[in-house]
Chain A
Amino acid sequence: MGALIEYNKFFAFSKNDKKYFNTDFSKGINIVHGKNTSGKSTFIQSIIYTFGINDEKRKLAELLKEEVIFRLDLTIFNPTPTKVSIVRDDEIVSIKVENKAPVKFIGIGGNKSREHIKLKSFLSELFCFDLHLEYDNEYKPASLEAMFLPYYIAQDVGWVSRHKSFRGLDFVKNFKNDFFDYFLGIVNNYDRIEKSQLEKQKKELEAESRIIHRIEKNDKAIKLAKLKDEIFTARTIEYIEPYKENKSKLIELEKEYLILCNKITLLEESRKVLLRVKRSLNKDILSQTKCPTCSHELSHSLEDTYNYYQDLNDTENQLEELNKNIKSLKDSQGALNKVLSDINDKKVIVEKDYYELIEYKVDNVTLESWLSNKVNIKLSDELKSKLGEITSKIFNTEEKLSKFKTDEAVKSERSRASYAFKATFEKYASELKVKPFDNEQFYLLYEIPAFPRQGVELLKTLLAYNFAFVDIIKRTSHTHVLPFLLDAIFEGDFEDESKNEILDFIKNHSSNNQQIIFSIADSKSNVNSATTYNEKHFNNRANLICIGENTKKRSFLSKYVGNFEEYIEETIEILN
């Protein structure tokens, strides 16, 4: 058992309507009574609502219209007592722990709101509750509802099937297992996040390791080639050195060749211009001594003639010079061509050498196969080191995982817990004179399907179940213990005999360290009043909480007459 929570006082008031409700709780048994529809469930739901559980909002819709402020005073024994006051005003929850300043959570209307998440973690810490559930493939702190679930049996669904008092929890993945495991102390769900991560990591590492193993095993040639590696390496170097030399020489020559080609092009461009100029000069009138049409002698000015001759001679000289240059360049290009062809010849030799080298065999391994395996050798080396790395990672992961329970261990623990539960459940069921189930499945906690019972029989089965469950989980060291809330234990049509059995059962299984708060309806058919039951079954030691003064319907709140001024003021102060 972990933190034990005891409710001390519940107070609700509506300032506008000047109405209020107030009750104190006693240790042990608290019986909530009143006429049908007087507001007993409202009271129980209000307690839960005060903690910030929004699921109850819907049920309390009518009451909440009156703008009611709720306050619950409680004591947490862990083991030393801590006084806590929780005040809820609509969207606001304010919690005062001992004399510390109240912690306020404003805007907790939606379960996914930031403030609600803060409230959840605050309360979880306060009650030492750290169940994690899988939401969206991720383990996150469980909702507040899960904290109350073992200790709350709602009027309607609570008596139909187990752990259904709140909506929505069914939809959480693996809820039942995680929920049971947590309360039974089988697996710390919080650790499971790490465990599943480690498991995932291990799986990935193992997959990688398998692939690498496969790659390495498949290539038998690697091993052989590896042995010959050194011989081939030496031979290859012999081949590569002269090749490199020839290649760089070739590159140099090719560069030279290009430059030369460009030079020739440049000269040839000049030559084109000069030839054009020369053609033009030849057509020039100055080149004519006779008029082309009338054959009359032409006489040109001396200066023109001299100019013309100079131009013509210069052009011819330049052409001659250029032709000489071009020729010499072309000659050197010819020489270069020869070098290129020499290099090509050399290339052929080099190529021949290469093929010889390729055919070169050492113990029937050719260089070619060695070359192709050379890559694999490299790969193999890398694989080896990679494999080592992975193996050590797997080892580390396994070491970490060894601190967690194995699936088998969990299974057997669950089985053990199931049987332990079965013993208690079977006993409690028989005490309530519930007809035994002929199939063991209905007793084994993790396996129980819906109980195939109806009416009183079903209620008694679930009562036995819930008491057995609470008993079992209280044995777990970390389990927080809240007051056990049972709404409408006489739900349905009950024989007095059955009622007595139930009340006796409750009495027999009540303890001083856990409050039991249950409600019963006073009605015409119910001859015995709560007072009678108290006297008859609980030696008048149960605390009676009357709703609606035993006469009124829908009268959870009653008229406020000014006797709680100081308390209200204090409550408002916590809120502010």
Chain B
Amino acid sequence: MVDQSVNAGVRAQQGFALQRNMALFIILDNYDSKFAGTKYFLSLEHLEDILFCYLDNHGQAIKVETYQSKKKSSGNWKIGVELAEIIIKVLKVGKSLISDSHPKCSSYGHDLYFSSNTAIHLEKRVTVNKKKSTYSKTVNEEDIEVIYNDLDPILQKAITDKLAKHDAFVEENLSDELKNLKFLYIDFNKTNKEQENQLRAKLEDVFDRKINDSKAALESIFGLFKNAELTYNQKSIARLSDKSKQIHSQDINNVIKVITTKSKAFQFWRDHKREIAQKLKIKPFEREIFEQKFSLAFDLFKSKEEAEHRKILMFVKSNYRECKSYNEDECIEELVAKFRYEDSSKLEEETLKATMYAAYFESINKMDD
């Protein structure tokens, strides 16, 4: 009795990518309030779809948050077999966490989220004294997080009634974990492409102009998840402390540092072409060609095959820190002089200078100022 709709989303895209995107979304969505400066690690499809484990300075778990993330192809979630099955799974995770050997501090606790980008409509109709009344709670855009304990007892009962149909619920005393159960609505798109766009918008929101190319930034972040992705779950019992599945906060912080400080402001750089042409006193009738050369310098730097440009870029990268001047133009003059002294280029004077400017911009990661 597998409900096709439960796994449709997973099938439509690689399961891992969905979890990864969701995890990133959670991080970015709560970056300033929760994740920035916090020590944690993250696991995907290990114990639970998404698992955040917050640590103290001794590496002891302070809190764990797990997310069971499900897409639904049509309609809302309702109290029923489908939902009960998921909740059972979620509650089981809570039990596993308690029994897990990972060191925990005394105040340890965990939140077990069932998250979805589809509304969760909890409803129970009861007839009391022949009077029909409906108890309901909907988790959606307006009310994104709902805690099980806060639900009306009638609704709680309606849920537990369904849960009770699973043997494990009673046998494994899963009701203990109901206090940790939370329903979460995440406004996240359905396809990978859309999700990535959403993540890029989030990156830009959170880091503002520190990132020029959010696509490149996102792909660089994805790189972090590669190892975790490629380590398949073994048949053995999943452990919280399984390092191969962990992504640590310092890695995430590191990648954020790189993407926010090593941004290439190509557009901004290219926009300087007119100014550079004027500085180098390029005649108006040659300006168009000169500006093109300046703009294309950034492109030629990219290719390892463009030896001449690479040479200049590498030269500037390893020398710009030694410049004694206080302004850009004088630094360029210094670099050109030094380059001439140490090396030679087939580029004619003006093109060399233009290339030098471009290399300088790229080396210092000159940003919008």
Give A residues with C-beta under 8 Å from B. Answer: 266, 269-270, 273-274, 276-277, 280-281, 284, 289, 297, 299-300, 302-303, 305-315, 318
- How far, in Å, is B130 (CB) from chain A's closest CB? 66
- Check A306 against B299 for contact (C-beta < 8 Å): no
B306 close to chain A: CB less than 8 A: yes
- Check A280 against B215 for contact (C-beta < 8 Å): no
Bound form: Cα–Cα A297–B266 in Å: 31
- How far, in Å, is A296 (CB) from chain B's closest CB? 12
- Check B258 against A306 for contact (C-beta < 8 Å): yes
- How far, in Å, is B293 (CB) from chain A's closest CB? 10
By a CB distance below 8 angstroms, the chain A residues around B303 are 276-277, 280-281
What 0/1 pattern do residues 276 to 299 of B give for CB contact below 8 A with A? Answer: 000000000000110010011011
B70 close to chain A: CB less than 8 A: no
- Check A307 against B264 for contact (C-beta < 8 Å): yes
- Check B288 against A305 for contact (C-beta < 8 Å): no
By a CB distance below 8 angstroms, the chain B residues around A315 are 299, 302
B254 close to chain A: CB less than 8 A: yes
By a CB distance below 8 angstroms, the chain A residues around B264 are 307, 310-311, 314
B212 close to chain A: CB less than 8 A: yes
**Residue of A with least CB distance to B251:** A302
- Check A307 against B262 for contact (C-beta < 8 Å): yes
**Residue of B with least CB distance to A308:** B216
By a CB distance below 8 angstroms, the chain B residues around A311 are 264, 302
Instruction: Classify the interface of chain A: helix, strand, loop or mixed.
Output: helix
- Check A306 against B266 for contact (C-beta < 8 Å): no
Stretch at the interface among B12-20, B191-199, B217-225: B217-225
- How far, in Å, is B73 (CB) from chain A's closest CB? 31
By a CB distance below 8 angstroms, the chain B residues around A307 are 262, 264
- Check B292 against A314 for contact (C-beta < 8 Å): no
B204 close to chain A: CB less than 8 A: no
**Residue of A with least CB distance to B224:** A302
- How far, in Å, is B202 (CB) from chain A's closest CB? 17
Chain B stretch 207-233: residues in CB contact (< 8 A) with chain A: 212-213, 215-217, 219-220, 223-224, 226-227, 230
- Check A281 against B302 for contact (C-beta < 8 Å): yes
By a CB distance below 8 angstroms, the chain A residues around B299 are 273-274, 277, 314-315, 318
- Check B220 against A306 for contact (C-beta < 8 Å): yes
By a CB distance below 8 angstroms, the chain B residues around A310 are 212-213, 216, 263-264, 266
Bound form: Cα–Cα A494–B331 in Å: 129
Bound form: Cα–Cα A266–B295 in Å: 13
- Check A306 against B259 for contact (C-beta < 8 Å): yes
- Check B213 against A314 for contact (C-beta < 8 Å): yes
**Residue of B with least CB distance to A302:** B258
By a CB distance below 8 angstroms, the chain B residues around A284 are 304
By a CB distance below 8 angstroms, the chain B residues around A281 are 302-303
By a CB distance below 8 angstroms, the chain A residues around B302 are 277, 280-281, 311-312, 314-315
Bound form: Cα–Cα A308–B259 in Å: 12
- Check A312 against B296 for contact (C-beta < 8 Å): no
Bound form: Cα–Cα A161–B57 in Å: 156
Bound form: Cα–Cα A311–B302 in Å: 6
- How far, in Å, is B267 (CB) from chain A's closest CB? 8
B81 close to chain A: CB less than 8 A: no
In the complex, which of the residues A280, A302, A314 contacts B304, with contact meaning CB atoms closer than 8 Å?
A280
By a CB distance below 8 angstroms, the chain B residues around A274 are 296, 299
**Residue of A with least CB distance to B216:** A309
Known: A300-B223, A307-B264, A314-B298. 16 other contacts (CB 8 A): A270-B296, A273-B299, A277-B302, A277-B303, A284-B304, A305-B219, A305-B220, A305-B223, A306-B220, A307-B262, A310-B212, A310-B264, A313-B215, A314-B266, A314-B302, A315-B302
By a CB distance below 8 angstroms, the chain B residues around A289 are 226
B206 close to chain A: CB less than 8 A: no
- Check B223 against A302 for contact (C-beta < 8 Å): yes
Most buried by A among B223, B224, B263, B289: B223
- How far, in Å, is B227 (CB) from chain A's closest CB? 8
By a CB distance below 8 angstroms, the chain A residues around B227 are 299
Bound form: Cα–Cα A305–B289 in Å: 32
B300 close to chain A: CB less than 8 A: yes
Bound form: Cα–Cα A209–B135 in Å: 129
Bound form: Cα–Cα A284–B224 in Å: 20
By a CB distance below 8 angstroms, the chain A residues around B258 are 302-303, 306
Can you list the 9 inter-chain pairs with the closest CB atoms, starting with the nearest?
A: A309-B216, A280-B303, A311-B302, A306-B220, A310-B216, A277-B303, A314-B266, A310-B264, A280-B305
By a CB distance below 8 angstroms, the chain A residues around B212 are 310
Q: A277-B300, A311-B302, A318-B299 are in contact. Are A302 and B216 (CB under 8 A)?
A: no
- How far, in Å, is A307 (CB) from chain B's closest CB? 7
Bound form: Cα–Cα A310–B263 in Å: 8
Bound form: Cα–Cα A266–B288 in Å: 9
By a CB distance below 8 angstroms, the chain A residues around B292 are 266, 269-270
B255 close to chain A: CB less than 8 A: yes
Bound form: Cα–Cα A314–B224 in Å: 22
Bound form: Cα–Cα A299–B223 in Å: 9
Bound form: Cα–Cα A315–B303 in Å: 11
A-B contact pairs, 12 of them (CB 8 A): A273-B296, A274-B296, A276-B303, A277-B302, A289-B226, A303-B258, A307-B262, A309-B220, A310-B216, A313-B213, A313-B215, A314-B299
Bound form: Cα–Cα A274–B255 in Å: 28
By a CB distance below 8 angstroms, the chain B residues around A277 are 299-300, 302-303, 306
Chain B stretch 238-265: residues in CB contact (< 8 A) with chain A: 254-255, 258-259, 262-264
- Check B262 against A303 for contact (C-beta < 8 Å): yes
Most buried by B among A276, A302, A312: A302
